[in-house]
Amino acid sequence: MFEGLLAGLEPLARVDVIGYMILGNLLGVIFGIIPGLGGVQALTVVLPFTFMLPPAHAMYLYAGIMGSVGGAGAVTAILINTPGTAPNVTATLDGYPMSLRGEAVRAISMSTIAGIAGVCFGLVVLILLLPLVRAIVLAFGPPEVFWTIMFGIFCLALASRGNVLKGFAAAGLAFMLAFIGYSDLFDLPRFTMGIGYLWDGIPLIPFFLGVFAVPQVFEYMSRRDTIARGGEKIYLGGWDQMVQGAKDVALHWKTVIRSSTIGMIVGIIPGVGGVTAAFGAYMAEVRASKDPSKFGKGEPAGLIASDATIHADVVGDLLPTVAFGVPGSVQMAVLLGALIMHGLEPGPLLLTRHPEIVWALIFGLALSQVVSTAMLFGSARWLGKITVVRVPYVGPALAVLTSVGAFAVRGNVWDIMIMLLGGVLAWGLRRYGFPLASFGIGFVLAEILEEAFHQSLMISYGSYAIFFNRPIALILFLLLVITVLMPILRKPFRAVLGKM
């Protein structure tokens, strides 16, 4: 694994690569600050324009986006009580009260430095785990890959808020769409309805643009107010508060470690998401405090816990994505699509054949934190005012970017139609409570799952016993069964305990 370290670091000697990373930081800051957008939309929009870049160079651009979105979303949460991304909602609980009492710079300082600490903690754990993961990966064959992906899909569906069945239905619909196209295995087209365009299947990039960007365009075009729906006057305070914020993080080092650990663990579990990690870490900090009543009133530990967790969660999401080809979040599903677009096979072979790509992501995430911190400190006052821009100006700009991106990869005007149809479908799914996370990740994983399934049967000469007679495959299957039965048996088990 470590033999790719220098190869992953080498692109940083090029000025253009540094420029790509800084561009990624700028895009991450802009998309992170605008409520409703985030890392998923930013990665999806830039994906088509990185097609001609060398893979390692593109990874620095992606890492720049992923490393800055969370910090940027916290800025507006702190300044005007409007979280830029969903996980940043916990930053409003204590960050905004600090702004109201004139300590915005202190709060932003704590937020960004806690973010750096969370990323560094996560990356150290990731680097320590990679050699162990590689040994595990080498023991993974097609049956193990099949059960790993199935486990990830079930976790994702079970984590769907509101209705687990809708989570499974969304993933199932994504599978159906992903199976459209010519099948090399069966030597015939599937579900193409006689349309020649669909023989190659639904193109990933235009479809992802439709699923993750177009619904937001629809929402912005239907409104006439400002992005943040109003806001309070921004009080920044003195720049000496920057030093105080750094001291606060140092004094709460236990909070950083505790919250970063929660973020890493939650990030590794597919489908749980940054929102769960942020709230889990925040509640853990409240329970660990000697005076819980201080939280929600401008308590530094609450804000530090929020941002350390969010940034560590991103690193945790990266581990199953690069090691097993199972995205830990929707953002990582887009990254998975980027790897496929660049001709890289995500999962076990990525660690063994292209370790430089993994190191490029690791170095990119670390350095992007430093760059985004400088950006956020230097422009906090102006960044906060982005959210009072009128929405009608944002919607058309995002629509143009997505349309150009859909057309750019293959120069096919029908790709724009796929983008629009995907957007309408995603808008309908979201409107009726079907999780887009299950839908998007299911679309990416369907082809890998099908390939692992058929390869397993070829190895066993058609015997399904191969999915159960190998130790790791059997363990993964049992984990899947336990995961499915746990929510069903939880209430009866509690009832039995209550009678004892």
User: What is the pLDDT, as a whole number, of residue 162?
Assistant: 56
Position 90 scores a pLDDT of 75
At 282, the amino acid letter reads Y
The pLDDT, as a whole number, for residue 432 is: 86
Whether 446 and 455 have beta carbons less than 8 Å apart is answered as: no
Residue 362 pLDDT: 78
Residues 6+ apart with CB under 8 A from 483: 151, 154, 155, 158
Tally of CA atoms within 13 A in the half-sphere of 236 that contains its CB? 16
Q: What is the pLDDT of residue 296?
A: 74
Q: What string of DSSP letters covers 53-100?
A: S-HHHHHHHHHHHHHHHHHHHHHHHHHHS--SSGGGHHHHHHHHHHHH
Low-confidence ranges of the chain (pLDDT < 70): 1-9, 12, 35-37, 80-86, 89, 100, 102, 133-140, 155-156, 158-162, 224-240, 269-276, 328, 347-349, 351, 377-378, 380-391, 408-409, 437, 487-500
In tens, the pLDDT along 97-139 reads 777 676 777 788 888 888 888 888 888 887 777 777 666 656 6
Please give the structure tokens belonging to residue 478.
């049992």
Residue 354 Cα distances to 1, 61, 188, 366, 434, angstroms: 9, 18, 33, 20, 36
Dihedral pair phi/psi, residue 232, rounded to 5°: -95, 165
Q: What's the one-letter identity of residue 268?
A: I
Spatial CA neighbour of 101 closest among 238, 264, 217:
238
pLDDT tens string 401-435? 778 777 766 778 888 888 888 888 988 888 888 87
